[in-house]
Chains A and B, each alone.
Chain A
């Protein structure tokens, strides 16, 4: 293993995002707590330099997966590799990982500088080098001048920067972030997310990020792993996850979605023809295996993929406006419709004109604006 003391500075790890494959590698990793399966046969490659987000509802297994990579938990079966080394049995203090905890876990009895220096002291680096790296890392997170404060004297955002600096100072092979933004207020969260992404790009450190916030996952990640009930549901870029979910759970967990009753017309290779009302739509056939033509299916379509049917349009369905909700940049139009499985359809309208044009009670026809949608076999109900 490379001696950390010889590496120079914290910028030496710059690697192009999505360089080699499987910088962190999980092979069939399972973990149970008593009777509860926290993680089932997880196989995953984290590419060098990427931000990979573990997204899912609480209890989905994302924190378990993170703790397994960190070494805080040992898997019941399976193997974990970091940078080509098997680390399944390696304790956390020899894994060279940086962890940003949800509550930051800054040492309250140490100054900011001592917190950041902690990992370097544990590596027994010479004093001048520790001082240099601490200064460098604090500059990176823009905390110069606060070296001698204690964590208690800092704001939430500053505490998070210290925690990030402490994790980065040791030039970790992998940076693990456990819901780091959940304690911050909304405005600060946004700017910290941007800053984190910038720093991550600058250092090129492979990052695994846990969140249950789907918009955070979409905006921050190179790739997203969606987990639920201890299983990996889908791995893909934010665009793939949002636009081409391969599982019903993924489609409904990430982003707003309308579920409309439709019918399978025919399957032609990789594409399937879906009929909804008078409209026809091509969707990926992969999610409809085992469905015969004519079978009822459920069409998952995003609000922005729907629009008002104009003359000449093929109407997909009809609905009655039941509520408007003004969102600043756009208006959410809620329709009551029998075509939707939940009885409700959500449409987006830029500006505010929608409120005046279609008052509550107006019956409107809906058409599909794009072809971006997925379909799943109708759930037995």
Chain B
């Protein structure tokens, strides 16, 4: 490749990473079809018994819960994130813009564990929300917020929001404000102008944002682990329990494989479902 002298040099780190990923995935895949020998960390012979065991309703339930939590999180993030992204893009003044961006992105700066612990401080029985509501006399007993899917979704929305806002803002910033002005000059009030012009034009951003939010949430571990506290389990929590509490690596591996396939399947389904929407947006 004489005309691209740096291509090889630039591609090789990515290639090395890819090789490492593929090797790791191959190891997991390999573990998933080996037999579990109780009391030993080494796997036994090849078998499909792990996958058969996954058919138990207990595991099906966890998969369903995971998909459901991801779906709710993606939808909530979209609903909350869209106005924020819109304000971010349309805000006048560089200072206001940067201030909003920093507030939006902050959750990404905090480590996952720190962020999750701060939610425990907010949601716990003696936490901020319950204390305030108790002092105001609005409730008599603390609300159960920890160890509920509500708490888990809340914390997941918090961490997914920056990603959603950034993806939506990128899409919205490509929409010329003259489109809205044109709509208004033609008799559309601000709400109709938004619904008939800006919203359809932003669908590529919505599709990208929802898909990413879904994938982002599917792999969540610390948040459901700490806030769900064993009451709300997602796929990664189950993998952790099987792998590091029971040391059943083959079963954990098979669960991971199925989880991965499920995640890909759901994202493919999501994209297919959102495709009609995308056809509305600009090419």
Q: A residues near B, CB below 8 A?
A: 70-72, 91-99, 101, 103, 105-109, 118-119, 122-123, 152, 166-167, 170, 176
Contacts and interface: CB of A to CB of B under 8 A. Distances in A.
Contacts of A96: 187
B185 A97 contact: yes
Given A101-B178, A103-B176, A70 B185 contact: yes
A97 B182 CA distance: 10
Interface string B189-201: 1101100110011
A118 B281 contact: no
B184 A92 contact: yes
A98 B282 contact: no
Contact of A93 (B176, B184, B197, B281): B184
Given A119-B187, A122-B187, A123-B187, A105 B182 contact: yes
Interface in B192-220: 192-193, 196-197, 200-201
Contacts of A152: 282-283
B184 A91 contact: yes
A118 B186 contact: yes
B179 A107 contact: yes
Please indicate which of the listed interface residues B186, B188, B196 has the most CB atoms of chain A within 10 Å of its own CB.
B186
A108 B185 CA distance: 17
Contacts of B200: 109
A193 B30 CA distance: 73
A96 B179 CA distance: 17
6 contacts: A91-B184, A98-B186, A101-B182, A107-B182, A108-B201, A167-B185
A343 to B, nearest CB: 45
A30 B200 CA distance: 37
A166 B186 contact: yes
B181 A119 contact: no
B183 interface: yes
Nearest to A166: B186
Contacts of B283: 108, 152
B268 interface: no
Please indicate which of the listed interface residues B187, B192, B196, B280 has the most CB atoms of chain A within 10 Å of its own CB.
B187
Interface in B213-233: none
Contact of B185 (A99, A103, A106, A123): A99
A103 B201 contact: no
A167 B188 CA distance: 13
B225 to A, nearest CB: 43
Nearest to A124: B187
B185 A107 contact: no
A99 B181 contact: yes
Given A108-B201, A109-B281, A103 B178 contact: yes
B178 A119 contact: no
Contacts of B179: 105, 107
A91 B184 CA distance: 8
Given A107-B197, A108-B282, A109-B280, A93 B188 contact: yes
Contacts of B178: 101, 103, 105
B186 A122 contact: yes
B185 A122 contact: no
B181 A105 contact: yes
A21 B186 CA distance: 26
B192 to A, nearest CB: 7
Contacts of B186: 93, 98, 118-119, 122, 166-167, 170
- Which 6 residue pairs spanning A and B have beta carbons closest together? A119-B186, A122-B187, A105-B178, A105-B182, A99-B185, A108-B282
A166 B185 CA distance: 10
Interface of B: 176, 178-179, 181-190, 192-193, 196-197, 200-201, 280-283
Contacts of A98: 185-186
Nearest to A151: B282
A252 to B, nearest CB: 33
A253 to B, nearest CB: 28
B282 A92 contact: no
Nearest to A98: B185
Given A72-B184, A118-B188, 11 more contacts: A91-B189, A93-B189, A95-B185, A99-B181, A105-B178, A107-B179, A108-B283, A109-B281, A166-B182, A170-B186, A170-B187
Contacts of A95: 185
Contacts of B193: 93
A99 B182 contact: yes
Contacts of B197: 107
Contacts of B183: 107, 118, 122
A166 B197 CA distance: 15
Please indicate which of the listed interface residues A71, A96, A105, A170 has the most CB atoms of chain B within 10 Å of its own CB.
A105
Contacts of A103: 176, 178
Contacts of B181: 70, 72, 92, 99, 101, 105
A70 B182 CA distance: 10
Nearest to A123: B187
Contact of B187 (A93, A106, A109): A93
A167 B184 CA distance: 11
B94 to A, nearest CB: 14
A38 to B, nearest CB: 15
Nearest to B180: A105
B261 to A, nearest CB: 35
Contacts of B190: 93
A108 B175 CA distance: 10
Nearest to B281: A109
Contacts of A122: 183, 186-188, 192
A97 B197 CA distance: 19
Contacts of A99: 181-182, 185
B199 to A, nearest CB: 10
A153 to B, nearest CB: 10
Nearest to B201: A109
A262 B176 CA distance: 53
B185 A93 contact: yes
A105 B177 CA distance: 9
Nearest to B179: A105
A103 to B, nearest CB: 6
